[in-house]
Structures are given as C-alpha cells and as structure tokens.
Amino acid sequence: MIISPDRKDFSTILNILGKLILGLSLFMLIPLGVAIFKKEISPFFDFLIGFSASACLGFLLVIIFPVKKEVGWVHAFFTVSVGWLIFSLLGAIPFYFSSHFLSFIDAWFEAMSGFTTTGLTLVQDLDHLSFSHNMWRHLTMFIGGQGIILASLSILTRARSVALGFYVGEARQEKILPNVIDTARFIWKVSFVYLILGVATFFTILFYQGVSVSKSLFQALWIFFASFDTGGFAPQSQNIAYYHSFPLELATVIFMILGATNFNLHFWIWNKKKSEIFKNFEIKTFLFTLFSLMFILYFSFIGFGNQLTIFRKGFYQLISAHTGCGFTNLASGELSIFSALSLLALTFAMMIGGGVCSTTGGIKLLRLGIIFKTFFTEIKRWMYPFKAVYKDRFHHLQDLILSDKRIKGAYIFFAFFLFTYALGAVVAMCFGYSASFSLFESVSATANVGLSVGLTNPAMPLTLKLIYMFQMWAGRLEFISIFVSIGFIISLFKK
C-alpha cells in the first residue's frame, strides 16, 4: 500500500531540492571564473544570471521549506527524478542567453543532453561559442556522469539508508563499499585521478599538433569530460573529426572504455585483485558483443577503403556507440550514408551500452549477459534428467547464482528500454522519417549516446525535441525513480 503524501513530505523534498540547487549554483562559478579569465563580458553576465537564479531559488526553498519528516526512499526517488528536471532547466539559463540557441526549449534540450551525458546537440555556430559556455556544456556532462546527487550525499546526510535511496534512485545498482557515502567518495576519487591522466594525455597530443597552450588545456579538459563521462559533446562542430588525429582517437577510445567500465571493477583492480578483469562477467559480455558487431561491420564495409579507413570510419563509431560516448570522427552527414547493416550494428551497440554503475547508459552489459545466460541455462535444463536441479553461476566480482530475482530484474529493464526505444522511433516515423533513422536516433537518445544521423537539429519538430528530452531523462535514471514519483503523485489525488 502506498502511503499518501502530505505537506510535510513535500516540505522535506523541497528542502532537499533547495540544497541540491545550491550545489548546482556553485558549479556555475566555474564557467563564471572562465569568463573572467578569458575576458568574455557577455558570457560573464549569462552565468551571473544563471548563478543568481539558482542560488536564490535554492536559498528560498531551504528557508521556506524545513525538513519536517525523516527522509525515506520515496522522498529520495522523487527528489532524484524531479531534481534532474530542475537541474536541466536552471542549467539552460546561461545557454539561452548566449544567443546560440533558437529558443529556450533548444537550450533546455542542450542542458538535458549534457546532464544525462547524451551528447545530442542543438547549438548554433558551435565553433564560435565562448570558452565559458563550452566549459559549462562539458561540465554538465561531468556533473551528470558522476551524479550531482551523488556528489551531495555527504553534505545532505550521513544516514546510510537515506543515502542508499539517493544512490539507487540515480540508477546506481551496486555499492562499492558498505557505506554508500564512502562509495560516492571513491567514485569521485577515481574520476579525479583519471581526470589528471586524461587531461595530460589530451593536452600533449593537442599541443604537439600545434594548438596553443591555452586552447590545448581547455580542450583537453573538455574532451576528457566527454570521453570518460561518455557524453559526446565536443568543442568543435566537426567533433573529433576536427582534429584529424589518429593518436587522439586512440586516446579517446581508452577513456571511453574506462568510463563505460563498472566503478566496482575499478575498485577491485585498484584495491583487490587485478586478475578480476580477466574473469569479470561484464568484460566477457562486452568483448563478445563488441567483436560480434565488429564482424558484422567488417562485411558491411567491404569496398569502403583500406583497413585504417575501416577502423577510423567504422570501428571508432562502434566503440563510441557501445560505450555510450557518442564521439565521431566522421564528416557532417557521413553517418547517414552508412549502409543499413552498418547502422543496425551501431544501433545494437547503443542499445547495449556499458557496465552497470558506470557513466554510460543503455540496457547494460550485466543485464544482457544474464539474458544470454538464461537462454543457454534453459537449454541445459532440458538436457538434464527430469528431476535434476540445475543452478547456473557466473562471476561478477564474486561467484553468483543465476537466481530468479536477477533474471526477472534483467528482463524488466530490458523490456523498459525496448519499449522506450520503440516509442521514440514510432513518433519520428509519424513525422516522415525512415524507420532505420528513427530507431537509430531514438536509441541514441534513450541510451544517452549522442550519435546522430541528422534527425536532431534545431529545425526538428517540437514534439520530437520533447520526446527525445524525455527519453534522455528516463534512460539516464533507468525509469524506477520516475515510476515511483508518478505513483507518489497519483497517491496524492487518491486521498
């Protein structure tokens, strides 16, 4: 039975949201500082307005709405789902004032794409976007990839049960350490270590290509945010193709894979058994799906060019799609002329995504692996004697039994994602787009990838923009916190 919420529940939720919004306003000080450093006058006021609006709203919510109830899981789930909508709305304010978006909806789309680490973009004249606005575009991916609520756990509360509600509500299924707050801190520790390594790597590559020191440093930071947090935004309109750099592409592949790897696996490799990488169920599933789809791509690219061209024009897109990053080294519109078989392989890769408890989206490797294993387990059961009891196992950080609960969970999420993939595709087809293009773009939005065959552009129908925004939001939060929030609201009207 759902307990009907009252004013105390909403007062508590709004107080938490106020604290989170204050945290978001502090992040806006970073691009504000960049505007001062780069002497960008108009962008400075854009972020001053955004910071002031966020800070004022946050303070008002905290002051007017005190915590009147002990924070529970329902409060946490509702806060997460509503919070992400508010973050994207407030994050859109500096974008809208930049004059690089045709409407506030386009700016909101950009912010939603950034926070959900999707990478679909509606920005106009990206090559002339200010440093501070580009910083904010990429910073939203870093915030969203790690989880802004995850960053606030140690500030909001020290109660483990409450922290776990926020953690799970933000689509994190596995705790790394017994204390969720310690888990959050470890994730940020890993991210900052890779940030130093990534920025140093990308800076070196760009600097030796002749890019100025200042521009190399900023773009190295932005490319790291987009690759490790599997976001896909790039500081130039031609994305990674702008640099014409094979070393840069190889480096981004490494950080895309690191970002798509389960943070729990990072913990085991860092602190426990390095051999876990060779036994892990998700890694085996990733290698199986990656090489299977590479095999399909190989035949679809026969006659396309030499082996290096195949890798740079095909396999790079596949790895980008599978890790949920969305980087591309193709010229504008080149992806749309890929064969139907090539697009299908990339679509499947986007559908799958990376590891659970990573920065990527999609169905996730663990769930897909469980579905595959369930299929073969059922075949084995039919081969055994009638009265035999057979329980299959798999190794994911430890030996686990393929229980009915795990199977049920995998199939439920699989069904949610397939339904949402199909929903976006049907809507796009209603506007006259082809089935293959419609499915590709819908999957890209829902799985938070960002690769596009050209459907996503400022002139696209408003309905389709809103549908893709919903898909990015629902896909990033993996539906559960949204469903709980809907139930929470419905119960309010049943009092």
Q: Categorize the per-residue pLDDT at 98 as very low, low, confident or very high, splitting at 50, 70 and 90.
A: very high
> Where do the DSSP E strands lie in 76-177?
none
Sign of the CA dihedral running 435, 439, 445, 449: negative
For residue 159, what pLDDT is reported?
46
Range with the poorest average pLDDT among 143-157, 162-176, 310-324: 162-176
* Angle in degrees, CA 162, 164, 168, rounded to 5: 125
Contacts of 381 (CB under 8 A, 6+ apart): 388, 390
Q: Which two tokens stand for residue 32?
A: 């504000």
DSSP string for residues in 344-384: HHHHHHHHH-S-TTSS--SS-HHHHHHHHHHHHHHHHHHHS
For residue 133, what pLDDT is reported?
96
Q: Is the pLDDT of residue 452 over 80?
A: yes
Nearest to 324 by CA among 359, 293, 290: 359
Q: Categorize the per-residue pLDDT at 106 as very low, low, confident or very high, splitting at 50, 70 and 90.
A: very high
Report the distance separating Cα 227 and Cα 406, nearest Å: 30
Q: Is the pLDDT of residue 465 over 60?
A: yes
| Pairwise pLDDT comparison (145 vs 143), residue with the higher score | 143
pLDDT per position as a tens digit, 176-198: 666 666 777 777 788 889 999 99
- The interaxial angle of helices 73-97 and 7-27, nearest 10 deg, is 40
| Helix, strand or coil, per DSSP, at residue 458 | coil
| Pairwise pLDDT comparison (251 vs 73), residue with the higher score | 251
pLDDT per position as a tens digit, 83-95: 889 999 999 999 9
**What is the average pLDDT across 290-300?**
87
For residue 1, what pLDDT is reported?
40
Give the number of other CB atoms < 10 A from CB of residue 9: 20
For residue 16, what pLDDT is reported?
85
For residue 457, what pLDDT is reported?
93
Range with the poorest average pLDDT among 22-26, 142-146, 183-187, 220-224: 183-187
Give the number of other CB atoms < 10 A from CB of residue 270: 12
Q: Is the pLDDT of residue 383 over 50?
A: yes
Q: Is the pLDDT of residue 405 over 90?
A: no
Q: Categorize the per-residue pLDDT at 265 as very low, low, confident or very high, splitting at 50, 70 and 90.
A: confident
| Pairwise pLDDT comparison (14 vs 301), residue with the higher score | 14
For residue 180, what pLDDT is reported?
65
Contacts 24+ apart (CB under 8 A), 99-106: 100/124, 100/125, 100/126, 100/129, 100/133, 101/458, 102/458, 105/462, 105/465, 105/466, 106/458, 106/465
**What is the average pLDDT across 25-47?**
94
Q: Is the pLDDT of residue 161 over 70?
A: no
DSSP conformation class of 455? -
Rounded alpha-carbon distances, angstroms, from residue 204 to 213, 312, 328: 10, 21, 21
Tell me, what amino acid is at 259? Answer: G
Q: Are 80 and 167 in contact (CB under 8 A)?
A: no
Report the distance separating Cα 361 and Cα 358, nearest Å: 8
Report the distance separating Cα 182 and Cα 176, nearest Å: 8
pTM above 0.95, yes or no: no
Q: Is the pLDDT of residue 149 over 70?
A: no
Contacts of 84 (CB under 8 A, 6+ apart): 115, 116, 473, 476, 477
| Pairwise pLDDT comparison (181 vs 31), residue with the higher score | 31
- Burial degree of 237 (CB within 10 A; 0-12, 13-18, 19+): middle
pLDDT per position as a tens digit, 348-381: 999 999 888 888 889 999 899 899 888 877 777 7
| Pairwise pLDDT comparison (70 vs 406), residue with the higher score | 406
> In the predicted model, what is the mean pLDDT of the chain?
86
Q: Which two tokens stand for residue 450?
A: 């960002």
Please give the distance of CA 166 from its chain centroid, rounded to a whole number.
17
